[in-house]
Amino acid sequence: MLTRIDHIGIACFDLDKTVEFYRATYGFEVFHSEVNEEQGVREAMLRINETSDGGASYLQLLEPTREDSAVGKWLAKNGEGVHHIAFGTEDVDGDAADIREKGVRVLYDEPRTGSMGSRITFLHPKDCHGVLTELVTSRADH
């Protein structure tokens, strides 16, 4: 069962500049940052609030580390902006299977490692009314 909006992913050309905008404009601070080599991104997670299920909601700022990454290709085509929405779930495997049975294409056969050690998969945007959708099971200590 999907429990919350885990994060909204925002693609950007300059991570440091974008982080500074969110810090100066809204007062959001970086909770976590990392480079995900598999996804080809450098990212910063800005915690917005905590949720009743013990998780949190974030803005995820994404800067590609290479042009051929999914975010790099998306930026080249669309420019900066909202890249995806992610829903939190206690069971990414089970929810992905249930959603697949409803005819929605799940992009990964097996969940992959996401931010802060989470387990993730994506749903095809053409099956989700044009929205790239991510399912996330957070690591227990985050």
- The DSSP code sequence of 26-71 is H---EEEEEEETTTTEEEEEEEEEE-TTS-EEEEEEEEESSTTSHH
Looking at the annotation, which residues are catalytic?
A: 7, 43, 60, 84, 134
CA dihedral (83, 70, 3, 91) in degrees, to 10, reads: 180
**Rounded percentage of the chain residues whose pLDDT exceeds 90:** 88
Q: Report the DSSP pairing between strands 2-11 and 56-64.
A: parallel
**Rounded percentage of the chain residues whose pLDDT exceeds 70:** 96
Tens-digit pLDDT profile for residues 37-96: 999 999 999 999 877 666 789 999 999 999 999 999 999 999 999 999 999 999 999 999
> Mean pLDDT throughout 98-120?
95
Radius of gyration in angstroms for the set of CA atoms belonging to the chain, rounded to a whole number:
15
